Amino acid sequence: MKAAVYYETGSPDVFRYEDVPDPTPGSSDILIKVEAVSIEGGDTLNRLQGDMSHLPHIVGYQCAGTVLEVGSDVTDFVVGDRVVTVGVDGSHAERRAVSTPFAWKIPDGVSTNDAACVPVPFGTADDCLFEFGHLQRGETVLIHAGAGGVGIAAIQLAKRSGARVFTTASSDEKLERLKELGADEGINYVTSDFVGESRRLTDGRGVDVIVDSVGGVTLQGSLDSLAYRGRCVSVGDAGRSVAERVDISKMRGNNQTLSGYFLGAELFLSPRPHALIAAHLDAIAQGELRVIVDRAFPLADAEEAHAYIESRKSFGRVLLIP
């Protein structure tokens, strides 16, 4: 099969488009023909400086396609099923083998391209908001990086729950588009101080729940933006700035909470997120939630696709098509 591989971590130009052996499914695995790869933020970070489990390395959390083969112990999938899958790596290729707890059937009415964009962003957003953030109807929520995959999912889920939704983005154009998805207030972090704006928009009170996928210096600002008993969930380092020591001295007196979150741990340790993600796929099929795809690149152009994401010009998901 063909795959976008690399032999060392670094900038997007480390990618090579090469022939590699097809993956071999185990007894509890399915083998799929990959038809759409959603490039996740973690994919770009892993390519930049992550661990390489083998050489050449095939990066990638998430992809969708059609089942070609099922292992001897598999009973819930058959050849020909359309599925979306997640894994620690291996999405940037024409074939992928994955264990069935990390695969979902694609409902009728959901395109394979859209389904490829669902599990990681929507599962992460839902857990950050409700399982860890405990967001309630009528509360305020600030969602950083609103134009990214987790951001777009979180805005829709938070609005659907009855929250007042704030979001940050790098341009007024992006913020206007995010209002169409449910954002009540947009904060341009290039031209405005999001801490001051969060306080202004809440009459000085602060925000009840913050989903912070940016990290670095932004995380301290998120803590400074919290209301009394506010909850901040740290879910990534998309800003790529050096990790900062955060000052939590004011959190105790305000009964505030800072949580870390990683969907992969939940998927490995609990069956709960699997049903949650299946419900998101059904909601998309019913038109209750939307997937936004910005651009699609051929798999051979993985370098260009990763560079486009890192330019911060994208709005929504960027796909690779084998």
Residue 312, pLDDT score? 87
Token pair 């947009």 in the structure block, residue: 186
All CATH 3.90.180.10 domain ranges of the chain, comma separated, are 2-117+291-321
What secondary structure does DSSP assign to 18-68, as a single string?
EE-PPP---TTEEEEEEEEEEPPHHHHHHHHH---SSSSB---SEEEEEEE
Give dist(CA 197, CA 66) in Å, integer. 46
Tokens of 256: 């505030």
Q: What is the pLDDT of residues 22-70, one digit of tens each?
A: 999 999 999 999 999 999 999 999 999 999 988 999 999 999 999 999 9
Name 306's Cβ contacts closer than 8 Å, sequence gap at least 6: 12, 15, 39, 43, 44, 47
Topology (CATH) of 122-263: Rossmann fold (3.40.50)
Rounded-to-integer distance, Cα 84 and Cα 243, Å? 33
Distance CA 149, CA 15 (A): 23
302 burial (CB, 10 Å; 0-12 / 13-18 / 19+) is: buried
Q: What proportion of the chain, given as a percentage, has pLDDT over 90?
A: 93
Collapse the DSSP code of 151 into the 3-class scheme (helix H, G, I; strand E, B; otherwise coil) and give the result.
helix
Distance (Å, rounded) from C-alpha 38 to C-alpha 293?
A: 9
pLDDT band at 239 (very low <50, low <70, confident <90, very high): low
pLDDT at 279: 98
Cα(178)–Cα(168) distance, integer angstroms: 9
Locus of tokens 């741990």: 265
Are 225 and 210 in contact by the 8 Å Cβ rule? The answer is: yes
- Model confidence over 253-308: pLDDT tens digits? 999 999 999 999 999 998 899 999 999 999 999 999 999 999 999 999 999 999 99
Measured distance CA(205)–CA(224) in Å, rounded? 11
pLDDT band at 236 (very low <50, low <70, confident <90, very high): confident
CATH of domain 2-117+291-321: 3.90.180.10
Burial call 44-56: b when 16+ CB within 10 Å, e when fewer: bbbbeebebeeee
Residue 107 has pLDDT above 90, yes or no: yes
| pLDDT the model gives residue 240 | 59
Amino acid in position 177: R
Query: Which pLDDT score is estimated for 245?
Result: 84
Which residue ranges does the chain devote to CATH 3.40.50.720? Answer: 122-263
